[in-house]
Structures are given as C-alpha cells and as structure tokens.
Amino acid sequence: MWSKRINGSIETEAFPAAPDLVMVFGPTERLADQAFIDRLAERYDGAILTGCSSGTMVSGDQIDDDAVVVLGMGFDHTRLALAVQPLPDSDLSFAAGAGLARDLADDSLAGIFILSNGLNVNGSALVAGIRSAVGDTVVLSGGLAGDGARFSDTRVLARGGNPSDVVAAIGFYGDHVRIAHGSAGGWQPFGPLRTISDAAGSELRGLDDEPALALYERYLGEEAADLPASGLLYPLEIWDPQKPDDRVVRTLLAIDRDKGTLTFAGDMPQGWKARLMRGMFDDLINGASSAARHAADQAATWGVAPSACLAISCVGRRLLMGQRTEEELAAVSTVLGADIALAGFYSYGEIAPQNLTAVPCLHNQTMTITLIGERT
C-alpha cells in the first residue's frame, strides 16, 4: 500500500501510481464547484473519489481554512467499494445507515469509513442503522461534513457529484487491510449537575426545568449572537443515571430561537444527567495526543506501519483554540511520526469505536484518528 497527501495543486503534484482511493477535503465553496469536481474525477479516473466539505482542513501537522487537501491511497491486496445513500432529512438517518451497511455487507468486509452531510443528520441514528445491519465486528469510523462556523451548507463528494443531502461510505475488504482508531476530547465538565428535563430526539428544550437556550445565552454573553457556532464552546456531557460511567459528549448543531430549542448532534434522552463542558487549550491538545496514542497502540500490533491517517477533529475545538489549533495536530504528528500521510478536516461530528468498549458511536468535540495500513 502507498499513500500520499497533496496539499498544493492537483495539476502540479502527482501520486506515485494510479490511486485506488482518493479523499478530498476542502472549503464548502470549492467542493460546491462542479467544474472542480469534474476535474478531479477526470484526473483520478478509476479511483474511488470521495470527500467532504469543511471550514478547516488538516494537512499534516498544519491546518488550512482555504486549501483543498487530497489524500490518495493505493492498495495491493484490498478491495474497496463505495456506497451512497440519500439523507435529505435527519429523521432518515437510521434508514440511510442501514442502507449503506446492506450495500457494503460481505463476509470479507473489514471496515467502513463514512462521510455524511453535516446538517441534516442524526449521527447517533446513522451509526445505529449501520450497526443494525453489520453488527459490531466491522470497525467503523468517519465524520460529518463541516462548514466552519457558518452551519449553512455541507457537501459530500460521491459518484462524481457533490450533493448536500447524502451519506457516503467506503468499504474495505479482505484480511490484509488494517484499520485502527482513537478518539478523545479533553473537555472538562464544570458547574452544577443538571438533568435533561425536556427533550425529544436530538432537540433539547429544558435543563432542570429551565430553558436550555437561556442557559447557553447566559454563559455565552455577547457571543450568544454567534449561536449556534459559539455553542460549540460549551458541549454537554450527558449520561444515563443508571450507567454513570458511560458518558457521551454532545455538541450543539443548531438553535431555534422561536421554539426555544437547541439541536445537538445526537440524541438527548430526557431524564439523563448533563453537565456543561469547557475546553482548556492544554487539555484539548492532550486529548488529541491520547486519541493518536490509542490508535498507534493498536497499529503497533499489525506488524506493518500504518500508511495513512485520517484526522477528523471537531469544529468546536477549532473555534475555541484559534491559532493554537495546530498544536493538537502537532501533538498527533508527534505520536504518529512524520512519515505517515496525514489528512483530515474539522467536522460537525466524529464517528469511531469507543476507546473502552470498541462499540462504534457518534462522538462530539473529539479528535478522532483513523489509521489505515495493509499487510503484505
């Protein structure tokens, strides 16, 4: 297997061979440009071409808000397949996930990498849909496309198009391919313990019988004007009071001031406990480092070095860390070494197995690392 990241011009930079898989991450307006997509398709004819939009791209240990990053991979013993399902409405997330899994399911299926539109999706339901069809034995990772702090349009690159209402998944087949994961946040809960008193699906109305929107506005102060993007500064840690050790982080995706609701990138079960979280730069950077460490530890057992790394980090981290964002990539690079082809994007939600249980699920506000290698 080979892999190479191109973060200059596709016209001037070339891969060492014809790639089997090309992943493209770029600003929304670039990916919305069909002519650009056509050029990519023409150039990488014969490869599976996919990718998604984002406000910030990862290119090695650097970030770039404007550039398109292309990651090409060539496999020697691994078959790939692409599945695409329409996802015009978040209510269809489970069905879309199940559809993808059915399309890809095969005895030799070893892993799935998903890229979903970032706005009309319930990531938890999408993952549940996939798991419903392939179970927990197939490793699953990926992320939701992003749009920086705008939250207005996300794109998924698939089958030569760039729609904003689909979810795409790549299936990796055979027993040569190796995929490892790590996911960590580094956010710290703070303030009083709260209870989700009024919620439906991923929509939250009340915490402790108080309007949740008012709570966010109070904490954000003048930055409340930038909601929902500024809401990413304060994710919620939530958990079932019956399983206090099993906690998930939910990030804010949208608000509706008229209805007084906050929409999160996953279910908000009524009765669950919740605490606001905030990120200290160093904690977040340590989180990214530990995600990489977790993945690297798995890869260390392969007998072959990982060739490519997909780093999907949450847009909330980008918003909070500003110019210090690159430090989390530097931390990842430090763990993985300079030789690996590292690309990725800042997302509206990350998908990866849980570090402890290995059960795939939707993460929020994390750095999620997917390492890919192939044994000879």
Is residue 223 part of the contact set for another protein (CB under 8 A)? yes
Give the tokens for residue 254: 């949208």
Query: At closest approach, how far in Å is the CB of 333 from another protein?
Result: 13
Interacting residues of 351 by C-beta distance below 8 A, sequence separation 6+: 114, 123, 126, 127, 140, 141, 142, 143, 144, 360, 361, 362, 363, 368
Q: Which of residues 74-113 bind another protein (CB under 8 A)?
A: none
Q: Which of residues 232-271 bind another protein (CB under 8 A)?
A: 233-234
Query: At closest approach, how far in Å is the CB of 196 from another protein?
Result: 17
Is residue 221 part of the contact set for another protein (CB under 8 A)? yes
The Cα 281–Cα 319 span in angstroms is: 11
- When the beta carbons of 64 and 203 are compared against another protein, the nearer one is 64
Tally the C-alpha atoms within 13 A of residue 7's C-alpha that lie toward its C-beta: 21
Query: At closest approach, how far in Å is the CB of 190 from another protein?
Result: 6
Tally the C-alpha atoms within 13 A of residue 97's C-alpha that lie toward its C-beta: 28
Look-up: residue for tokens 């500024």? 230
DSSP secondary-structure letter at 244? T
Is residue 33 part of the contact set for another protein (CB under 8 A)? no
- When the beta carbons of 56 and 116 are compared against another protein, the nearer one is 56
Query: At closest approach, how far in Å is the CB of 220 from another protein?
Result: 8
- When the beta carbons of 41 and 330 are compared against another protein, the nearer one is 330
- When the beta carbons of 18 and 280 are compared against another protein, the nearer one is 280
**Residue 248 near residue 266 (C-beta atoms within 8 A):** yes
Q: Measure CA of the first residue to CA of the last residue in the chain; give whole Å.
A: 8
3-class SS letters over 158-193:
ECCECCCCEEEEEEEECCCEEEEEEEECCCEEEEEE
Query: At closest approach, how far in Å is the CB of 193 from another protein?
Result: 8
The Cα 57–Cα 133 span in angstroms is: 32
From residue 46 to residue 65, the character string flagging contacts with another protein as x (rule: CB under 8 A) and all else as - is: --------------------
- When the beta carbons of 8 and 160 are compared against another protein, the nearer one is 8
Give the tokens for residue 180: 């490892």
Is residue 219 part of the contact set for another protein (CB under 8 A)? yes
**Residue 355 near residue 294 (C-beta atoms within 8 A):** yes
Query: In terms of Cα–Cα distance, which of 333, 314, 286, 351 is closest to 56?
Result: 314
Query: At closest approach, how far in Å is the CB of 280 from another protein?
Result: 8
Give the tokens for residue 30: 């670039």
User: Which one of 52-60, 240-248, 275-283, 300-308 is the stretch in contact with another protein (CB under 8 A)?
Assistant: 275-283
Cis before residue 228, ω within 30 degrees of 0?
Answer: yes
- When the beta carbons of 46 and 221 are compared against another protein, the nearer one is 221
> Helix and strand tally (H, E) in the chain?
8, 25
Query: At closest approach, how far in Å is the CB of 318 from another protein?
Result: 12
Q: Which of residues 283-342 bind another protein (CB under 8 A)?
A: 320, 322-324, 326-327, 330
User: Which one of 46-54, 144-152, 217-225, 302-310 is the stretch in contact with another protein (CB under 8 A)?
Assistant: 217-225
From residue 171 to residue 200, the character string flagging contacts with another protein as x (rule: CB under 8 A) and all else as - is: -------------------xxx--------
Site residues, another protein (CB under 8 A): 190-192, 218-219, 221, 223, 233-234, 278, 281-282, 320, 322-324, 326-327, 330
